[in-house]
Amino acid sequence: MNTWQTIRNKFEAQSTMTKIIVINVAVFLVLNLVANLSHLDLLRYMGLPVGGFDFLSKFWTLFTYMFSHVQLGHLFFNMLLFFFTAQTYYQIIGEKTLLYVYVMSGLSGGLLLVLLGILFPQAFAGSILIGASASVLGVIMVLAIYAPNLPVSLWGVFQMRYKHFAIMMFVLSTIIDLAINTGGKIAHVGGAAFGLIYGYNLKRGRDLFNFAFFERKKTKLKVVSYQTIDDAYNTKKVNEEEELNALLDKISKSGYDSLTKKEKETLFKASQKK
């Protein structure tokens, strides 16, 4: 087996969250290395052009822009927030729809900005949209609607409900200094809007992912574990997962608020172990 095949096999074996982060990091490295070594600006082929109908000649950038960053701080913040958000998403909803929500949130944000660029071409002339912010905000908003009272611990010190955390992130990343990076922040609104719509429908038993892919059978929520289970404590792990699956089934049927205080504490403790 050659080196490329080995890398490919290892990549395919990773979780959706890890794959998304790896792609973002890889694109960041390629964009910067090529720009510095050959002075070739690949960003014009990866970023989404805004203003008029310029995007039609680079339609693929509606997808590539949400994986593209050129500044390390921009990449680090987006991927750090996505990492912790995806962990919680796995616990409450599962892995299956994460990529769908990420991409659709990004598309919603990009299309909203493209539409405004068509209506007001002079305001966005020459602008290029990049970054995963709209996608990440979309994932956050799904959880804010689906499990609004889920406790969140910030830096192990501050605790708040997830709906308040989502509002805080949206305000900090979008509302404050709206005049700066206006186009990017408009995309945030589009991404967040899709997340709210998806979360609203999911909480009422309608999974837009299943609708989009013509799946009539409702997918059960399940716990995705990334820890290898040693034989010495196999029974304990199985019991813990059975208990957690029961809680997730209850959330699926009646919502997060139907859990008792003790059940919410159990779910929170379990999420800290992942």
268 and 137 part of one domain: no
Instruction: Tell whether 266 and 208 lie within a shared domain.
Output: no
In a domain, 219, yes or no: no
| Residue 159 belongs to domain spanning | 15-212
- Which residues on adjacent β-strands are paired with residue 158? 154
Burial class (CB in 10 A: 0-12, 13-18, 19+), 205: exposed
For residue 223, is it within any domain?
no
Judge if 134 and 61 occupy the same domain: yes
Contact 74, 132 (CB under 8 A): no
- Same domain, residue pair 207 and 237: no
Residues 19 and 73 in one domain: yes
Q: What is the pLDDT of residue 232?
A: 41
Q: What is the CATH number of the domain that holds 92?
A: 1.20.1540.10
Residue 256 and residue 147 in contact, taking contact as beta carbons nearer than 8 Å = yes
Q: What's the residue count for the chain?
A: 274
Both 269 and 159 in a single domain?
no
Angle of helix 234-254 versus helix 261-273 axis, rounded to 10: 130
Give the Cα separation of 87 and 153 in Å (integer): 13
In this structure, the answer to whether residues 136 and 236 fall within a common structural domain is no
Query: How far is Cα 137 from Cα 190, in angstroms, rounded to an integer?
Result: 9
pLDDT of 103: 97
Determine the 3-state secondary structure of 158 from DSSP.
Answer: strand
pLDDT value of residue 14: 87
Distance CA 217, CA 257 (A): 25
- Domain identity same for 48 and 81: yes
The stretches in the chain having pLDDT less than 70 are: 1, 155-156, 178-179, 211-239, 252, 268-274
Residue 226 lies in a domain: no
CA distances from 239 to 77, 159, 245, 246, 256 (A): 36, 28, 10, 11, 21
Residues 167 and 256 in one domain: no
Residue 196 belongs to a domain? yes
Residues 105 and 175 in one domain: yes
- Based on the domain organization, do 117 and 155 belong to the same domain? yes
Q: How many domains in the chain?
A: 2
**Cβ-based neighbour number of residue 271 at 10 Å:** 18
Q: What is the pLDDT of residues 116-159, one digit of tens each?
A: 999 988 888 888 999 999 999 999 999 999 999 999 887 667 88
Asked whether residue 107 falls in the same domain as residue 242, the answer is no
